[in-house]
Amino acid sequence: MGQARSHVFAPLGDLGRAEAVTARLTDAISMGLLGDGEQLPSEAELAGQFGVATVTVREALVALRQQGLVATRRGRGGGSFVITPDQEAPASWQQRLRAVSLSELRDIGDHYLAVAGAAARLAAERSSPEDVERLWLATEDLRNAGAATNDQGSRGQARAERQFHLEVAAAAQSPRLTHQEIQLQGEQGGLLWLPQSGNGHAEHGAITEAIARQDGELARKLTEEHILEAVDRLVDMHLNLL
């Protein structure tokens, strides 16, 4: 996941609670920034990276084990290992969609619009050639996921959407924007990207091209249009579920 992954273990600042560590790692696992079976750093290393006490990390790992997101092995070769949860069944996100109001959906979209649009503009100004290459790879991931027509393909598209926008935020070279992107995606579990359109790959390509050409205003405009279309699709789905 490139630079987006590096923000998983960034210091928490004043949020030195076990709940904050748990939330950060839960979001990273759900978004694929930490892969299934991957070994986490040691408790001492995590404490140093997050800027918290070792006991805080220990409490967070207990919570993650209770959620089934981490398994701990003892002895040689032991440690804490990521367990990626099974993908949600369609009924699960439909139930979650019913639980939010149309005004809440619009509010989520407004917040995401501000964060992602600003990130795209800054990425055009600050991204390195390596950042742009990661964006092209993330764009290709969406095209490959869209080639599948089953439920797994649909979930793959949603995941590719989330990963693309994480990479844009990371390319903006703004830790706060990246953390906002991770937080927004974590709050709704990627709900925004459940309804997929056939133009996602082309839209990602156009955004990446604008960033590569250092056209910040175009990158922002294209990103905002992309998100507004996603919000409109989500609202339509919400109305059809009523």
- pLDDT band, very low/low/confident/very high, at 135 (cuts 50, 70, 90): very high
Residue pLDDT, tens place only, 193-235: 765 555 788 999 999 999 999 999 999 999 999 999 888 888 8
- Statement to judge: residues 202 and 106 lie in one domain: yes
Grouping H, G, I as helix, E, B as strand and the rest as coil, residue 1 is coil
Query: How far apart, in Å, are the Cα atoms of 147 and each of 1, 117, 137, 150, 194?
Result: 21, 28, 16, 9, 16
pLDDT above 60 for 171: yes
Percent of the chain beyond pLDDT 90? 41
Tokens 């089953």, located at residue:
150
Q: At what angle do helices 102-126 and 151-171 cross, to 10 degrees?
A: 50
- Name residue 57's amino acid: V
- Statement to judge: residues 66 and 148 lie in one domain: no
CATH number assigned to the domain comprising residue 179: 1.20.120.530
- Statement to judge: residues 172 and 117 lie in one domain: yes
- pLDDT band, very low/low/confident/very high, at 34 (cuts 50, 70, 90): confident
Per-residue tokens: 212: 């590569």
State residue 142's pLDDT score. Answer: 86
Residues in the chain: 242
- Statement to judge: residues 111 and 76 lie in one domain: no
- H or E segment to which residue 218 belongs: helix 216-241
Residue pLDDT, tens place only, 111-133: 999 999 999 999 999 999 999 99
Per-residue tokens: 131: 């950042």
Last residue of a domain, one of 59, 82, 105: 82
φ, ψ for residue 101 (rounded to 5)? -85, 165
- Statement to judge: residues 136 and 64 lie in one domain: no
Asked which of 40-49, 100-109, 184-193 is least confident by mean pLDDT, the reply is: 184-193
pLDDT above 70 for 149: no
- Listed in sequence order, the residues at least 6 apart from 233 whose beta carbon sits closer than 8 Å to its beta carbon are 195, 197
Contact 117, 220 (CB under 8 A): yes
- Name residue 112's amino acid: Y
- Statement to judge: residues 170 and 55 lie in one domain: no
Average of per-residue pLDDT across 91-103: 77
pLDDT above 90 for 162: no
CATH number assigned to the domain comprising residue 70: 1.10.10.10
Using CB atoms within 10 A of its CB, is residue 48 exposed (0-12), middle (13-18) or buried (19+)?
middle
- Statement to judge: residues 149 and 233 lie in one domain: yes
State residue 134's pLDDT score. Answer: 94
State residue 151's pLDDT score. Answer: 52
- Statement to judge: residues 72 and 147 lie in one domain: no
- Statement to judge: residues 132 and 113 lie in one domain: yes
Last residue of a domain, one of 45, 64, 82: 82
- H or E segment to which residue 66 belongs: helix 54-66
In 41-164, the DSSP E strands lie at: 70-73, 79-82
- Listed in sequence order, the residues at least 6 apart from 14 whose beta carbon sits closer than 8 Å to its beta carbon are none
pLDDT above 80 for 27: no
- Statement to judge: residues 60 and 153 lie in one domain: no
pLDDT above 60 for 150: no
What range defines the domain where residue 126 resides? 90-241
State residue 30's pLDDT score. Answer: 73
Last residue of a domain, one of 20, 55, 82: 82
Residue pLDDT, tens place only, 52-96: 899 999 999 999 999 899 999 888 888 999 998 765 544 566 777
- Statement to judge: residues 33 and 63 lie in one domain: yes
Query: How far apart, in Å, are the Cα atoms of 190 and each of 59, 141, 163?
Result: 26, 17, 10
Residue pLDDT, tens place only, 36-50: 899 999 999 999 988
- Statement to judge: residues 116 and 224 lie in one domain: yes
**Better-scored residue on pLDDT, 82 or 182:** 82
For the chain, what is the domain count? 2
